Structure 1
């Protein structure tokens, strides 16, 4: 569990942050930071001039801060120009996956801390470039693997690690949605990696973060509209328990859920119509809701953690670049298992 309730508190000089990529997730991160009093968004970069001229910001995640008005900051079409002209402490990049490494390295080479959206990159080689730039420039690099900070998933992680209900026996994680209608690059597997890397990766990342590396994996999948695997079912074998991870872009409505079976209880999230986190302990009459550690979503919590690591208030042990690289590697192994139709030992 990561108690961020007291982080970012107190009067201090504001961190100057630039945004690169002012689409859906870029605006989500803007919304998160607008609720924080120790950060100032001073510049926004996007290659679409219409986005930079928009006076109305539509953010699809609720936040408690004031509405962001892009007219109050400087705008750029050229990322290099923004890095050179602005005195930035950090940048938040929300870009197509195939250029994650390029833009992150560019910023880190200017001595600027980087929060880069998931997945870390298309492959492990690109991830290594990012880690090298971080080390050479002595800056912070955090990838937007938000499930590590999502309250419901934090409670599941706690139940597993503390054996609150006994040992974990089985876990099923599901994340499904439709093809993108808001940004066409998602639907090109050469740019996004397909649903297996863009969507399914969320649960892959949480599983390896919270449960460790599996002993072996087996996956089956279907190549879809993107030209990459857009529907996947993976089976991960651990000592004493098994994890099934399901992901697809071949659905019309987004949903995420999990069902965890422990020795003495069952826990689920997103399964019941009200989507609340619930637990049914052996001997109980039925499921009851579980109180959450925070009413903030994972986007706000991961951004708070990143900014506090930039300030040196916390050491990033929750979402290291090395760990997020492992998640990309596991997806690559799942792709290999799909192609070979075989189990792969790790």
Structure 2
């Protein structure tokens, strides 16, 4: 006998989004298994209602109430499912917390995710956004995932190639947006493990400590220290981490901007293009610490927008647009938001 669906009506999503923005969902259903999704689709009323998928709410700006059936992902479980010559395969429920999963893998002697420590959100959201930090993206550690088609109720398995990962992008932001719900993710952790230290802040840690061959735990500790120094804890100050993507430009565009602003922070990419530091550009436009209404720019990192207490989604969007106009006016670059604005 299946347990009935956990259905709630008129739920305020403020506790379920890290920006702490108010938003009432008409219906909220907690999804703990693939069977829950199929039961939902078979329900005469809920099955026909528009769906909105909610993970950890760490990549979301809610600007209005949701007249939809919100599917809150709570599929749990972590296990080492296979060991191959070149990697370990770990399977994780989509509702598990990402940072807790990084810690769990390290505790099991399964390194490889340490550079992505402290990224907020759930494991199920990680492939959608192709999360990344300090020289590693999810696609570098990805094997496959299971998702349930929200029309047919069938489970599909997608490989890395089928997920079409790009910079903070995937097929789940394109033609599969809102059409399927990720339930399980399989991660590919390399063996033998090698440290990834090519990022400026990690190179600084190597120089500061004199540790030239750090362990995975050491890198984890460094990444946590760096992130905590410049990013606010969403449990204390509402935010979604980095608000804008670092823009990628051609070598010609990069040279043009350097000619005008020699100090601009930029990184060469494998394909010959350059990634520019959006936070540096926002700071150069004088936004650090400023506010519009109750939404503001974090004092220690201009890439982070924060809820100064009681902010609305509209105030966050107004602030973001003002920053975009400033940066475009000075650098001729249009910044793209990372979070989904609803």
Question: Normalising to structure 1: TM-score of the pair?
Answer: 0.27
Q: Which has the higher contact order (CA 8 A, sep 6+)?
A: 1
Structure with the higher fraction of residues in helix conformation: 1
